[in-house]
Amino acid sequence: MSDLADDQQISELQQEFAEAKANGHVGQVLASETNEVRIWKIRLKPGERIGYHRHQLNYFWVAVSSGKSRSRLSTGETVETEYAPGDCRYFSFGAGQHMIHDLTNIGDTDLLFTTVELKRSANPPLVL
């Protein structure tokens, strides 16, 4: 990749990151929403990516399939994770706390997740 293409990609990611501060779309499809929860579905084909988004509600995800991902966090950290069906992780945020990250499927199988946000958290839900 040329320096110009690298610079353009960096600029696009910086713009996406800036916009993520208000991006509450933590999945690809909002499957259900009640006064208590938002339930999201994610299906990433190999190489596919969900752009930067913001988590500020307590939430958990459940892996529906096996696979591997890479996530770049707003802290500058990059995390690679391997999943098996049924794997689950819970996140909790205090008042004013949040996490911004992206998610890329770096495996060779589709990655499927269900993510559930809990609206009764220390922070209000972002407007979708």
Nearest to 19 by CA among 118, 119, 100, 105: 100
Token readout for 106 is 């770096």
* 24: in domain: yes
* 42: in domain: yes
Number of domains the chain is built from: 1
Enter the pTM of the model. 0.87
* 128: in domain: no
Q: Looking at residue 7, what DSSP letter applies?
A: H
Q: What is the model's pLDDT at position 120?
A: 97
pLDDT in tens, 40-53: 999 999 999 999 99
* 13: in domain: yes
Q: What is the model's pLDDT at position 6?
A: 62
Residue 19: phi and psi, rounded to 5, are: -70, -25
* 126: in domain: no
Please identify every stretch of the chain with a pLDDT value under 70, giving residue numbers as ranges: 1-10, 13
* 123: in domain: no
CATH number at residue 107: 2.60.120.10
* 94: in domain: yes
* 55: in domain: yes
**Domain of 38?**
3-118
Nearest to 68 by CA among 44, 88, 100, 40: 44
